[in-house]
Structure 1
């Protein structure tokens, strides 16, 4: 896969020495011989959003997010690589998800932690598929920051079906379906979806129960969930954030969970030592306002990498 490094440019603080590095000065194209580190992998796809009757444009998310990350200050953690981008061609979402799964599996088997930049939330199915193949026999718990359960029933895969697809795969394989959804909006999920979540044993926390003064309770719920699984797959659907912080999504939130709360909870998840892979999805630069959305998304990606230990 050809890796386009054109997005990685920015400010250079040459007068402040070797410790004044930014992401664009640190990141390297992934090579077969690269030591284990964090591998950024794009998924340029929003066919699932189109099928789900949403606002398309998230296919351009990976490149724009790379540009937003490029100028952020680098605080040493693990080596950082760009692993290229998987694209969805000819509206063939299913083939793109399989390709994403293959790339994720290869990254994990080479010792890297995949950080996938979507793309719509159809990203999640391909990402989980690759993790499940790479970690056969392991119990993988899914923590999803999202206003939506994404448990829709449909004849076609879409951005609204990934966790329903995962649940079906888990049932077919005899795997546990461990799913915690944080930031669920009652206004955005029908009673049918809540019934489906209940039937599948999904754990969730409403957006109204994710305020700063409820952080301790949320951390406790997350800790119990992490303790019950071997590994954690983390997905952040950026529409969980309030529209004022994240305008650049298909379905902006009328209420949402403040970015301060999301970042505080990310720290608990990443520092558990069980993180197997993470993604940020639904960023749609077509609807951004003065790069507010890109900066918020980049901040969350930065927070994930910041708390990873050597």
Structure 2
């Protein structure tokens, strides 16, 4: 039992709805009156395919425990949420056994393609039922499947607001956590793309030049906002949302954008959690906000305090997305 029951209180886990695994998924999605569907992706295969630090497979585990134990009240209505559960990639991990070095990375990239298909299929079903997915866990490779599934369900290209220290626009030589948006753009699932808080230290001159020539891509940098202070933060928040809200758009939160957050690329210099919470809340107010994707959180499973802290951070972001 993940929900801690207390007399005189109503926890989130007591009021959300759940699916019956024995019944048809699509029929239950259509029948549910919930507005949001909570889905976990327990994998870090895409991250390792990008030579990243593993651990994102544990994000769902800590997030679901944290969100089920927040209070159900007039501002955060748990009755609007359906808990779908998580995709289990145990069989995929079995296929990594015996691999090392370059062969291990190559196998991770191959398996990421299979993960793409699973993510695309489940997101398509959720969106086709008229609901908004809230996707937790895994690497940023899953942005591709989420964008594709949403695009297929709506019959239109999807915009994306990505709160991230990195562009994830690496070359499309194969599939991994660094090129989800590259593939989504090239295959016509992603239309307008805004990166908020990009770190100049980790973005190449060539990539800056490429983005400047692409009208579908816009960005601001962390240094513009908080080091040189060339731009007003409130203005830039509104500009980033305005860039994408003309069509259906996804809100992407890479946890490595947040200072000191346990993630696959932890940073001592980044956005505050309060800043990201504000952005998620503001963007969710738009009628065209189609989903929330929180990825790259990688808590140390040997550190209970870090696990709890990371889960609580994600629970805040989830509640801000549905907050009244």
TM-score above 0.5, yes or no: yes
Contact 1:142 1:235 in 2 (8 A): yes
Render the CA deviation track for 1:32-67: whole Å, top value 9, x for unaligned: 132242111111121111011111111121122111
The reply on whether 1:203 has 2:218 as its aligned counterpart is yes
Aligned counterpart, 2:171 = 153
- Partner Cα distance (2:87, 2:125) in 1: 13
- Partner Cα distance (1:144, 1:113) in 2: 17
Render the CA deviation track for 1:2-30: whole Å, top value 9, x for unaligned: xxxx5x312x332x3xxx32212122213
Contact 2:123 2:149 in 1 (8 A): yes
Alignment partner for residue 139 of structure 2, among 120, 124, 132?
Answer: 120
Contact 1:240 1:257 in 2 (8 A): yes
Aligned counterpart, 1:100 = 119
Contact 1:210 1:261 in 2 (8 A): no
Aligned pairs for 1:72-221 (under 5 A) are 72-75=70-73, 76-77=76-77, 79-88=80-89, 89=92, 90=95, 91=108, 92-137=111-156, 139-170=157-188, 177-201=191-215, 202-210=217-225, 214-221=232-239
Render the CA deviation track for 1:259-301: whole Å, top value 9, x for unaligned: 1111122222111121111110001122765332222222112
Aligned counterpart, 1:271 = 285
- Partner Cα distance (1:66, 1:176) in 2: 28
Aligned counterpart, 2:48 = 50
Count of residues in Structure 1 that have an aligned counterpart in Structure 2:
287
Unmatched 5+ stretches in structure 1? 1-5
SS of the aligned residue for 2:194 comes to strand
Aligned counterpart, 1:284 = 298
- Partner Cα distance (2:131, 2:212) in 1: 34
TM-score normalised according to structure 1 size: 0.86
Alignment partner for residue 26 of structure 1, among 6, 9, 15?
Answer: 15
Unmatched 5+ stretches in structure 2? 21-27, 96-107
Aligned counterpart, 2:99 = none
Q: How big is the alpha-carbon RMSD for the aligned residues of Structure 1 and Structure 2?
A: 2.1
Displacement of 1:154 in angstroms is 4.2
SS of the aligned residue for 1:235 comes to strand
- Partner Cα distance (1:98, 1:200) in 2: 28
